[in-house]
């Protein structure tokens, strides 16, 4: 919603007609027009450039990288407009085919951590494809409103009076988004997004950064589970793995929620939780062949959730038939 509404509400956009950004309804210029008109000297112009250009960029870029260094790719899992589409289309494809992506080799188990059962139904393909097209078109239009006045774009669209360049932009972007949403949405997050890649790189540099930790001392509990955490991961990662293999983790916490639901049926706490500092070393250092630290204290006090009655039944059935 924020991604769609930011331009029409003038929260943030670049107006190519005016040649500057608009932030919270205010013009964000570099202040060089006054210098070109001869109203201010070179010293004032340089100061304007520093305060209105370099400094905000430094603070924004530095802030994003600091958050990634300390907490991982928070932006990706919680703010990125692309990732919300990844999650939504994954879930629709799973309903249609049992697989969250076309590249998954085998369908995932029908039983969900909450006890719900998702039986693949090919009738979901039509709404899935419609959803892909709607999001591709919407994202293409919204992207254009970040560059040109939103009232002009939406007005031209409603009246059917888009200029040739506007129509070409929306057409090409819709096609590109359609292909990407259908075939490569999580691949783009993993390998194609520069913002995600830099966040991952600085996150990897901090071994004590927040990461999904696995309570290895209770690993035997996984024997009666159908790898619900792996199945829930929209990035198709293995959350019980070492940090290097979770390089593209978006900190979405869906694996933790899945394990919380699974373990609730046993009145036990989740085996997965956020860890940081000393406890994060267990995830980071394992890849260097170091011995496991005692992680018991890292998992003390994890809340036990109460399972829905259906889920208790599911777990009992699941233990007989580990799908």
Point out which residues bind ligand SF4 (CB under 6 A): 212, 221-222, 225, 227-229, 232-233, 235, 237, 239-240, 246, 249-255, 258-259, 262, 271-272
Q: Which is nearer to ligand SF4, 48 or 224 (CB)?
A: 224
- Phi, psi torsion values for 102, nearest 5 degrees: -70, -20
- DSSP conformational letter for 223: G
Pairing of strands 12-15, 20-23: antiparallel
CB of 262 to ligand SF4, least distance (A): 5
Q: Which is nearer to ligand SF4, 200 or 250 (CB)?
A: 250
Q: Which is nearer to ligand SF4, 145 or 231 (CB)?
A: 231
Q: Which is nearer to ligand SF4, 174 or 254 (CB)?
A: 254
17-26 in b/e form (b: 16+ CB < 10 A) is: eeebbbeeee
Q: Which is nearer to ligand SF4, 174 or 248 (CB)?
A: 248
CB of 314 to ligand SF4, least distance (A): 13
Q: Which is nearer to ligand SF4, 20 or 305 (CB)?
A: 305
CB of 228 to ligand SF4, least distance (A): 4
CB of 12 to ligand SF4, least distance (A): 26
Q: Which is nearer to ligand SF4, 178 or 200 (CB)?
A: 200
Q: Which is nearer to ligand SF4, 101 or 145 (CB)?
A: 101
- 8 A C-beta contact, residue 196 and residue 170: no
């Amino acid at each position: 919603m924020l991604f769609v509404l930011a331009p029409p509400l003038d929260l943030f956009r670049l107006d190519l007609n005016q040649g500057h950004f608009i932030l919270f309804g205010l013009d964000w210029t570099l202040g060089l027009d006054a210098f070109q008109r001869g109203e201010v000297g070179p010293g004032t112009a340089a100061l304007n450039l520093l305060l209105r250009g370099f400094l905000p960029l430094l603070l924004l870029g530095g802030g994003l990288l600091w958050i990634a260094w300390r907490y991982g790719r928070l932006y990706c899992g919680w703010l990125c407009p692309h990732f919300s589409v990844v999650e939504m289309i994954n879930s629709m494809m799973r309903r249609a085919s049992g697989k969250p992506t076309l590249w998954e080799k085998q369908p995932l188990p029908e039983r969900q951590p909450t006890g719900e059962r998702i039986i693949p139904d090919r009738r979901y393909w039509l709404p899935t494809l419609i959803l892909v097209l709607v999001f591709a078109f919407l994202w293409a239009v919204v992207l254009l409103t970040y560059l040109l006045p939103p009232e002009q774009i939406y007005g031209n669209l409603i009246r059917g009076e888009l200029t040739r360049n506007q129509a070409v932009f929306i057409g090409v972007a819709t096609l590109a988004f359609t292909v990407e949403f259908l075939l490569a949405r999580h691949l783009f997050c993993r390998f194609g997004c520069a913002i995600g890649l830099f966040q991952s790189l600085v996150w990897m540099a901090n071994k004590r950064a927040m990461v999904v930790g696995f309570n290895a001392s209770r690993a035997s509990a996984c024997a009666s589970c159908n790898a619900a955490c792996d199945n829930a991961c929209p990035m198709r990662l293995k959350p019980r793995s070492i940090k290097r293999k979770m390089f593209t983790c978006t900190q979405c916490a869906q694996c933790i929620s899945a394990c919380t639901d699974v373990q609730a049926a046993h009145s036990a706490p989740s085996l997965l939780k956020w860890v940081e500092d000393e406890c994060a070393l267990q995830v980071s250092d394992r890849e260097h062949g170091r011995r496991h630290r005692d992680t018991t204290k890292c998992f003390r006090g994890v809340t036990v959730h109460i399972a829905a009655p259906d889920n208790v039944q599911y777990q009992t059935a699941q233990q007989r038939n580990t799908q």
